[in-house]
Amino acid sequence: MTVTTSTVGGLVLAAGAGRRFGVPKALVTLSGEPLVQRCVRMLTDGGCAPVLVVLGARASDVIRSTGLPEEQVVLAPDWAVGMSASLRRGLTAFAADEGSPATPAKGGRNSRGRKDSRGRNSESWNSGQRPAGHAGVEAVVVALADQPLIGAEAVCRLLAAHAAGAVAAVASYGGQPRNPVLLHRTVWAEVSALAHGDVGARAWLRTNPDRVVMVPCDDTGSPYDIDTPDDLAALVTSSPSTSGPTETRPATSGSATAGSAASAGRPLAPPGSGGRPPRVDPPA
């Protein structure tokens, strides 16, 4: 596998069960495109490479329905702990030294070279370690799969902040820190140590405000968060560019559609905003 020369990777957190939605949001599609693939595209268009996806609940269903390649997936068997577990798994996947031994899968010994029931190498698939080929990544942009209106331009601005020397940068909307979030490799261990439950990087960001650069992204999209089917319906109704076949069932391979205005970096009004700040989750 060719080693990338990019210095900023992308990390999609999509491991949750989506209890309020009724199905893992990684299985939800918007305009015929799975939210996970939409988020991967946003990070890629913004300049991140490689982009990894952390999966947990019904991971095999997500992989089967979206066609995500094995080398792009990091499994979080402890996903039920909350976002902190997914974030730690993702950062560990990027931080692992080239050629380091993988951690044995839960309940078994190191299975180097062995195949699982689906023919995958269980060492890279079950351990949460990254596959070879991700050396040289100095920073990572963390994004959530259930915020489909964030634009690629927001990612571009975070990368510009990194190029200017920022060790942490957060996209802000209406003056408030939201998502996505850029974290330099030098702070990954600190971020992981402070993450707990459903609190990911937020604890570290609040503890280290002097090390965090706020990057205004109001004109690049919206951090509107999809928690329920009603949220998704409202988004489709009020954002014409996202209209089209919208499903709340597993996607099918090859169902992705052309890029929307949101992923292209053009602003979209959040559903029912009336000029008010959108209802969004805090930074990942």
The residues, any chain, with a CB within 8 Å of residue 105's CB and separated by 6 or more, are 77, 111, 122, 126, 127
10 forms beta bridges with: 51, 141
List, for residues 253-271, the tens digit of each pLDDT value: 333 222 333 333 333 334 4
Give the pLDDT confidence score for residue 135 in this predicted structure. Answer: 65
List, for residues 102-156, the tens digit of each pLDDT value: 333 333 333 333 333 333 333 333 334 444 446 689 999 999 999 999 999 999 9
List, for residues 41-73, the tens digit of each pLDDT value: 999 999 999 999 999 999 999 999 999 999 999
List the helix and strand counts (H, then E) for the chain.
8, 9
Which pTM does this prediction carry?
A: 0.75
